[in-house]
A = this chain, B = another copy of it.
Amino acid sequence: MEIIKPRTLSGFMELLPGKQIQFERMVAILRDTYASYGFAPLDTPAIEDAQILLAKGGGETEKQIYRFQKGDSDLALRFDLTVPLAKYVALHCNELAFPFRRFQISKVYRGERAQRGRFREFYQADIDIIGDGKLDILNEAEIPAIIYNVFKGFGLSRFQIRVNNRKILNGFYAMLELASKSGDIMRTVDKLDKIGPDKVRVILTDDCGLTQAQAEEILKFITITGSNAEVIAALEGYTGRNETFDLGLSELKAVTANLSAFGVPEENFAVDLTIARGLDYYTGTVYETTLLDHPEIGSVCSGGRYDNLAGYYIEKQLPGVGISIGLTRLFYVLDEQGLLNSALPCAPADALVLPMTADPGPAIALAQQLRGAGLRVQLYGEQKKFKQKMAYANKLGVPFAVLLGEDEIAEGMCSVKNMVSGQQLKLTPADAAAHIRAALAANDGPIISER
């Protein structure tokens, strides 16, 4: 037979079992946290009609998309979870209760240039709340509060959710009579962290055509820093000049006040006037999330408020607020940085039952009993020498091997071997289960360990 060399496409993450178990732990925390806030799980097709998926059209996205024909159909793979959500809500709006809250943790596809840490197939973990016509500002605080609980659930504390409001930015640029240039300005301002204020000033005057005074005003504005109360106090100084600005500030104040009510500590969120999140889509509160010890990674969780989710599909006005975690990239980065807690067991089983007799019956029964006590148990059925059995247990990385020979069977016992310490105890099956569970519980901890 001709052999074809196996490979996995570049830009596609495929994990070994231990890493996959770590990844699944993150997904489980996301699911549980999202569900605990009353979000419904959603699962839309990975393939959609290309006309529908690209209704918004245009730009970089369209170049990256996987698009193909099948029969007469013009098909495409989803490149995010927001467009499929818009389609879903437009299609099913009579059957949904609004506000409609959904989470979706699914793969999306972008045929980007392959690059280290960039993926062509990657998970997004999204939550959105969609209103019918209106949506209360309270939702704009709840969304980052949920993200706070997700990150805390991962074991992170050194992160910051940065919050801004597009109305504040739009209102501010309108005050300076720069509304028409706000896109260029925001793109420039976005580079502040990377290139510093002097270079930003030069681009604003030379490339964007601002006066020196306008550039100074903008730099003064975007470099407003301090505690959230201090930033808000500084913003108060601009009120009364533009309605949009004033509305944005009142929204920002409501969001920061409610974030505290949701139990998010001051150190984990910050008003940051440099955050803008693209140009058209977002209309109010916007979010980015950074790992404080790894600013070079950029935002690991972003989103915001939008006024019209599904305008391409339906006349109905559907405002919403949502946020998205690029899970595959986050996992890759955490792994690269050595932040995944290596003390957590990554074996597919808590215990490996090794029959030492010809008849596997007693070992089958023992394994079933240990499973009944809540353990993940693999029964090893191969006819191998003892040494090979133990080598397998070691390679698998199981924390415990449970040996069952003639003696143990006669006594109604089993021998429980701790694969790390080497300690071996003869216990009843019930005691063995309790012993293993206690050891696993003692070894439990967060998914991420910050150093």
The total of chain A residues at the interface (CB under 8 A) is: 101
Given A4-B313, A12-B47, A87-B8, decide whether A376 and B135 contact each other with a Cβ distance below 8 A.
no
Could you tell me if B381 and A139 are in contact, using CB atoms closer than 8 angstroms? Answer: yes
The reply to whether B48 and A4 contact each other, CB–CB distance below 8 Å, is no
Q: Of all chain B residues, which has the CB nearest A375? A: B36
Question: In the complex, what residues of B have CB within 8 A of residue A121's CB?
Answer: 45-47
Among the 9-residue stretches A94-102, A405-413, A436-444, the one with 4 or more Cβ atoms under 8 Å from chain B is: A94-102
Write out the residue numbers on chain B whose beta carbons fall within 8 Å of the beta carbon of A9.
Answer: 45, 47-49, 73, 75
Would A47 and B109 count as touching, CB distance under 8 A? yes
A394 to chain B, nearest CB (A): 9
Measured between beta carbons, the chain B residues less than 8 angstroms from A109 are 47
A8 to B47 CA separation, bound complex (whole angstroms): 9
Given the known A-B contacts A92-B16, A97-B392, A364-B261, are A37 and B312 also in contact in the complex, defined by CB atoms under 8 Å?
A: no
Q: Which of A64-72, A171-179, A293-301, A337-345 participates in binding chain B? A: A64-72
Q: Does A55 contact B (CB under 8 A)?
A: yes
- Give a binary string over A53-94; 1 marks a CB under 8 Å from any B CB, 0 the rest: 001000000000011111101010000000000111011100
Complex contact B66–A382 (CB within 8 A): no
Query: Nearest B residue to A90 by beta-carbon distance?
Result: B6
B44 pairs with A261, CB closer than 8 A? no
Contacts of A49 in B (CB 8 A): 7, 9
Copies per complex of this chain? 2
Q: Is the CB of A361 within 8 A of B36?
A: no
Chain B residues within an 8 Å CB radius of A258:
360, 364
Q: Are A1 and B111 in contact (CB under 8 A)?
A: no
**A150 is an interface residue with CB less than 8 A from chain B:** no
Q: Does A396 contact B (CB under 8 A)?
A: yes
Nearest B residue to A100, CB-CB? B17
- Of all chain B residues, the one with the shortest Cβ separation from A372 is B36
Whether B36 lies near A263 (C-beta < 8 A) is no
With a cutoff of 8 Å between Cβ atoms, the chain B residues found around residue A352 in the complex are 38
With beta carbons under 8 angstroms apart, the residue of B142, B349, B361 that contacts A381 is: B142
Contact residues of A between 362 and 408, Cβ < 8 Å to B = 364-365, 368, 371, 375-383, 392, 395-396
Contact of A424 with B by CB under 8 A:
no
Contact: A6 with B314, CB < 8 Å?
A: yes
A36 touches B360 (CB 8 A): no
Is A420 interfacial (CB 8 A cutoff)? no
CA distance A374 to B40 in the complex (A): 16
Contact A52 B7 (CB under 8 A): yes
Q: Chain B residues with Cβ under 8 A from A98's Cβ?
A: 392
Most B CB within 10 A of own CB, among A20, A45, A98: A45
Bound Cα distance A20, B45 (Å): 13
Top 7 nearest A-B pairs (CB, nearest first) are: A38-B378, A138-B381, A68-B68, A38-B349, A40-B348, A17-B40, A97-B395
